[in-house]
Amino acid sequence: MSTDFHLACALLPDGWTDNVRLCVGPDGTITALATREDPRPDDTRLGTVLPGMANLHSHAFQRAMAGLSERRGPGTDSFWSWRDVMYRFLDRLDPDAVEAIAAMVQVEMLEAGFTTVGEFHYLHHTPDGSPHDDPGEMAARICTAAETTGIAVTLLPVFYRWSGFNMAPATLGQRRFVCDPDQYSTLVERARHHARSLPHVRVGIAPHSLRAASIDDITAILPLAEEGPVHIHIAEQIAEVEACRDATGHRPVRWLLDRQPVDERWCLVHATHMAADEIRDLAASGAVAGLCPLTEASLGDGLFPAVDFLAAGGRFGIGSDSHIRIDLAEELRLLEYGQRLTRRERNVLSAPGVSTGRHLFDAACEGGAQATGQPTGRIAVGHRADLVELDERHPVLTGRTGDSRLDSWLFAGDGRQVRSVHVGGMARVMDGQSTCREMVSRRYEKTLQTIMADWTA
């Protein structure tokens, strides 16, 4: 059965267009698009509609520990002290908990206006480090969560082998992540198996970082990506850049670009600390920089060199990573505000005369679709009908037309201006709320009560 939509006003690839009719096929793809059309009686009628954006970087379980590492320790707190809390927290998580948290995260993403998630999942094994009976159990749970919430998902099972450059053995805290290339191959195969239960899914691979995967490891596992995306954390922390330089004589982005076939299939997550040649060559590679501004701020990572990277033609998308907040508008706002604060200028990341909101939104939609390998981010024939309807009656959007809608939403708003969300033509958010929020949040609450029962700061 196909569904038809009438959009009073939609952001199409060539701009804002009134009275758009879409025909959506049974697989959720837009099969026909006409403009200047009146609604027909059976059409699903929507108001102001944007294309759905992919959230390209998520570690779902970290949402449940948001706010638990905001107490200063005895020394200087950093990414590494946050990571200690994270390791302690994940020791409490079993597959049921992972599924409950992932579903909650996906509900929050949908309500924020994200329609796809790239789930970079590294919590593979049981608490003692032995594999589950099904080594792909955790991938299965993420798929089950997506079946419940309706979000499109790109599974990125993580390859994690070492605790540092020079192949330092993994630590006790990392025992739930660790695989050799053979075990990893089984994991990816199981992830593909479970993914078959979902309508809107891709599978890629994710060497965790150059700390956790050597260049030779990456070469060994690369064929497992098949046509899917390849994601890696890189150059997030100064200490990591220095350790890489000590071990290899090179900075991490340089080391990767010179030794792997980095191209459009790749997503380099963070890439915060780059020298001029790395910025230039990463941009030229066609890979996406996976930016997570709220997490990068929360963890004290540093500021991505957005001005130079965009000037070199670099592509980027947005991820909410640790999920300290899940808010599409706030991520893009912080990306721009970081530049404003350091440069003491305004409207830094757009060209003269161009709406900053529109410019950032378009780029993040394109980059997110590319990095997740999903046919999303555009309202066009052949793309999935991922539609985000804004509430034009909300005070933040009152009286706004054209690109000023995006400027007002992204710079003055948040998830509260998202009225409805369709993924592949299926309604997943109505009146601002996920259609399964109640059930998912009840289960999440029960799960968290157990996890937090004897948690000490």
Contacts of 280 (CB under 8 A, 6+ apart): 312
The answer to whether residues 122 and 129 touch, using CB atoms and an 8 Å cutoff, is no
Q: How far apart are CA 243 and CA 94, in angstroms?
A: 33
Amino acid letter at 18? D
Strands (DSSP E) contained in 151-264 are 152-159, 162-164, 168-169, 201-203, 206-207, 230-234
Question: Is residue 270 annotated as a catalytic residue, yes or no?
Answer: yes
Instruction: Tell me the helix, strand and coil percentages in the chain, rounded to 5.
Output: 40, 25, 35
Which of 121, 124, 125, 270 does the annotation list as catalytic?
270
Question: Is residue 180 annotated as a catalytic residue, yes or no?
Answer: no
Kindly tell me which of 321 and 403 has the beta carbon lying closer to Zn ion: 321
Q: In what order do the strands lie in the sheet with 426-430?
A: 30-34, 15-24, 3-12, 44-51, 387-390, 418-423, 426-430, 433-434
Rounded least distance, CB 13 to Zn ion, Å? 30
Kindly tell me which of 119 and 217 has the beta carbon lying closer to Zn ion: 119
| Helix, strand, or coil (residue 160) | strand
Which of 321, 327, 362, 407 does the annotation list as catalytic?
321
Please identify the residue of the shown chain whose CB is closest to the bound Zn ion: 321
Binding site for Zn ion (CB under 5 A): 321
Kindly tell me which of 321 and 366 has the beta carbon lying closer to Zn ion: 321
- Residue 13: count other Cβ atoms within 10 Å of its Cβ: 14
Rounded least distance, CB 215 to Zn ion, Å? 20
Rounded least distance, CB 58 to Zn ion, Å? 8
Q: How far apart are CA 58 and CA 246, in angstroms?
A: 30
Rounded least distance, CB 83 to Zn ion, Å? 11
**Buried b vs exposed e over 144-163: b needs ≥16 C-beta within 10 Å?**
bbbebbbbbbbbbbbbbbbb
Kindly tell me which of 321 and 330 has the beta carbon lying closer to Zn ion: 321
Rounded least distance, CB 272 to Zn ion, Å? 12
Residue 222, token pair as written in the block: 């690369």
Residues assigned a catalytic role: 270, 321
